[in-house]
């Protein structure tokens, strides 16, 4: 007997029964079903070097031994869930298209080449996610990543059953999406990245292409326009919208240590420092700008969310911040979207009802962070948990790792795995929508750099978000063994990962 937690699966499924033996996958194996998941399966199997799989019309063919059947049954599982069985043939029954897609991802992890060829274990799996929100974030503002690179990021993370992509589209260093009504944003504020590296921006067609690809992988795209701080790039394009930089001792000291320039009004900012910028909160023109940007983004974004930022407004008075938070969140609501904001916006009493907070404080909250986060719940909203000392994928694996930062923590794979989203704040468990693992891009100049920081730690965050908290195999000793089995899949997909020494990496 093989135990469930010994299956080479990440995230570990909710329930599984494993039987002795394996079903061969051969050149005669056919895939029955018209779902887009069938194309995902056949293409991924081909990249692995498995025997070519032929797709056939399920209504015209009876499954033969060794075939794979894909179908939808809303009663098969909870939303996004699936049932997978391997016997004389394979059957994956998704509760919906997302469930079918995730069942295919599980099948691809089970598919292995041994001494006798390609095969699957005889198994029955019933699986569905713990949290509805299983997110990753990519910062394309500090360093820009083009459409093909973002699609590559979507493919690699959706394979781990992540279902939200938060794109951090604007920051002090650059504005990365075209807005028709404010064209100078991309004309003047997109050409560079942090450190003076090349920049870039998404046309509206580019953005729609990213949205479409995310949708095809069952990821909801959440665009972020960071306001009222992190807006130096806005001032390069439209100086009348932004206050003069407010310098603080920490910013000056950091800039000196890193050898980076301080922000200068009207000039492109190439450093990393934060907290020095703000839009002009008492100017009505500012809200014309926010309204236009939100409207155009909302028109291109089919998902229900729009992230309005709200973090690190260090040079803004609390009174001004509260005024802006109330107006900006209501603008998002008026555009037909649910506002999302970093937890600092919870300090504002008048945020729109139902605004979702994203907590990025520590696993043990400090200062007012816990109270700020709890206020979103009091206002009828909910929380996304991104505890910085556990989930921030831009932190170093160890002090010597060449990429990443350390201000939140040094986060090895076990640290990324050993935390519980519902144990951080004193709010009802039902108020936790799920988790998000952000990748900030100060040190990541290429998508390869991004992937080295994201993988394998994203797999830890994926299991926390998907798998039952107390399910079989949901512990470090099992996870590290299962994590090592992902290496052949990542290599076949061309996904770079950091082969940390304490994981037993497999070559088959």
Domain-embedded: residue 458: no
Q: Residue 60: what pLDDT?
A: 81
Tens digit of each residue's pLDDT (9 = 90 or more) over 56-94: 988 888 999 999 999 999 998 999 999 999 999 999 999
Between the alpha carbon of residue 191 and those of residues 210, 259, 297, the distances in Å are 20, 21, 21
- Its domain, for residue 333, covers 133-443
Q: Mark whether 206 and 175 lie in a shared domain.
A: yes
Q: Mark whether 282 and 209 lie in a shared domain.
A: yes
Domain-embedded: residue 506: no
Domain-embedded: residue 466: no
Phi, psi (rounded to 5 degrees) for 8: -80, 65
Strand segments, DSSP code E, in 301-431 are 305-309, 338-342, 356-359, 383-385
Q: Mark whether 421 and 377 lie in a shared domain.
A: yes
Q: Mark whether 240 and 149 lie in a shared domain.
A: yes
Domain-embedded: residue 119: yes
Q: Mark whether 281 and 235 lie in a shared domain.
A: yes
Kindly report the CATH number assigned to the domain that includes residue 399: 3.20.20.80
Domain-embedded: residue 118: yes
Phi, psi (rounded to 5 degrees) for 409: 175, 165
For residue 446, what are its two tokens? 């290429």
Q: Mark whether 229 and 156 lie in a shared domain.
A: yes
Q: Enumerate the H helices of 176-246 as residue ranges.
A: 184-188, 204-216, 232-237
Q: Mark whether 31 and 161 lie in a shared domain.
A: no
Domain-embedded: residue 490: no
Question: Is the peptide bond between 456 and the residue preceding it cis, with omega within 30 degrees of 0?
Answer: yes
Question: Which of 422, 443, 464 is the last residue before a domain boundary?
Answer: 443
Domain-embedded: residue 455: no
Q: Residue 5: what pLDDT?
A: 56
- The number of domains in the chain is 2
Kindly report the CATH number assigned to the domain that includes residue 123: 3.30.379.10
Q: Mark whether 75 and 145 lie in a shared domain.
A: no
Minimal CA–CA distance to 15: which of 410, 342, 448, 467? 467
Domain-embedded: residue 503: no
Q: Mark whether 266 and 410 lie in a shared domain.
A: yes
Q: Residue 508: what pLDDT?
A: 82
Question: Which of 399, 428, 443 is the last residue before a domain boundary?
Answer: 443
Q: Mark whether 80 and 157 lie in a shared domain.
A: no
Q: Which residues are catalytic?
A: 312
Q: Mark whether 284 and 325 lie in a shared domain.
A: yes
Question: Which of 443, 466, 496 is the last residue before a domain boundary?
Answer: 443
Digit-by-digit pLDDT tens for the chain (508 residues) are 455 557 999 999 999 999 999 999 999 999 999 899 999 999 999 999 999 999 998 888 899 999 999 999 999 899 999 999 999 999 999 999 999 999 999 999 999 999 999 999 999 999 999 999 999 999 999 999 999 999 999 999 999 999 999 999 999 999 999 999 999 999 999 999 999 999 999 999 999 999 999 999 999 999 999 999 999 999 999 999 999 999 988 899 999 999 999 999 999 999 999 999 999 999 999 999 999 999 999 999 999 999 999 999 998 999 999 999 999 999 999 999 999 999 999 999 999 999 999 999 999 999 999 999 999 999 999 999 999 999 999 999 999 999 999 999 999 999 999 999 999 999 999 999 999 999 999 999 999 999 999 999 999 999 999 999 999 999 999 999 999 999 999 999 999 999 999 999 998 8
């Amino acid at each position: 007997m093989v135990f469930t937690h010994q299956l080479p699966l990440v995230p570990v499924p909710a329930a599984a029964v494993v039987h002795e033996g394996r079903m061969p996958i051969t050149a005669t194996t056919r895939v029955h079903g018209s779902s887009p998941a069938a194309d995902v399966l056949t293409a991924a199997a081909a990249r692995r070097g498995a025997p070519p799989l032929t797709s056939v019309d399920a209504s015209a063919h009876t499954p033969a031994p060794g075939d794979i059947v894909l179908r939808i049954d809303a009663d098969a599982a909870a939303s996004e869930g699936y049932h997978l069985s391997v016997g004389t043939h394979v059957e994956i029954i998704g509760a919906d298209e997302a469930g079918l897609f995730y069942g295919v991802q599980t099948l691809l992890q089970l598919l292995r080449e041994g001494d006798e060829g390609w095969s699957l274990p005889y198994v029955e799996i019933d699986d569905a996610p713990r949290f509805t929100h299983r997110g990753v974030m990519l910062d394309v503002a500090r360093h820009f990543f083009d459409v093909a690179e973002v699609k590559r990021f979507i493919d690699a993370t959706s394979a781990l059953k992540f279902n939200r992509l938060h794109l951090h589209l604007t920051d002090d260093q650059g504005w990365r999406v075209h807005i028709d009504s404010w064209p100078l944003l991309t004309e003047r504020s997109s050409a560079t990245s942090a450190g003076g590296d090349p920049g870039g921006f998404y046309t509206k067609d580019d953005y729609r292409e990213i949205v479409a690809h995310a949708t095809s992988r069952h990821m909801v795209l959440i665009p972020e326009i960071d306001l009222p701080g992190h807006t130096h790039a806005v001032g390069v394009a439209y100086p009348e919208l932004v206050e003069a930089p407010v310098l603080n001792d920490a910013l000056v000291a950091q800039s000196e240590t890193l050898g980076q320039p301080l922000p200068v009004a009207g000039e492109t900012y190439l450093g990393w420092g934060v907290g020095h910028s703000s839009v002009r909160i008492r100017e009505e023109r500012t809200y014309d700008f926010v309204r236009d940007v939100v409207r155009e983004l909302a028109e291109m974004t089919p998902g229900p969310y729009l992230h309005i930022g709200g973090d690190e407004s260090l040079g803004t008075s609390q009174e001004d911040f509260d005024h802006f938070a109330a107006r900006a969140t209501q603008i998002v609501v008026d555009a037909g979207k649910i506002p999302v904001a970093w937890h600092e916006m919870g300090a504002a009493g008048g945020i729109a009802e139902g605004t979702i907070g994203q907590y990025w404080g520590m696993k043990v909250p400090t200062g007012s962070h816990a109270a700020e986060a709890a206020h979103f719940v009091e206002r009828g909203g909910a929380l996304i948990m991104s505890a910085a000392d556990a989930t921030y994928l831009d932190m170093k694996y160890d002090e010597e790792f060449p990429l990443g930062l350390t201000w939140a923590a040094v986060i090895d794979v076990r640290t990324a795995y050993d935390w519980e989203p519902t144990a951080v704040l004193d709010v009802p468990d039902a108020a936790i929508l799920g988790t998000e693992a952000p990748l900030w891009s100060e040190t990541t100049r290429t998508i390869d750099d991004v992937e080295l920081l994201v993988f394998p730690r994203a797999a830890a965050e994926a299991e926390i978000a998907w798998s039952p908290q107390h399910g079989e195999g949901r512990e470090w000793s099992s996870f590290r063994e299962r994590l090592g089995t992902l290496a052949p899949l990542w290599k076949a997909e061309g996904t770079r990962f950091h082969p940390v020494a304490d994981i037993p990496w497999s070559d088959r």
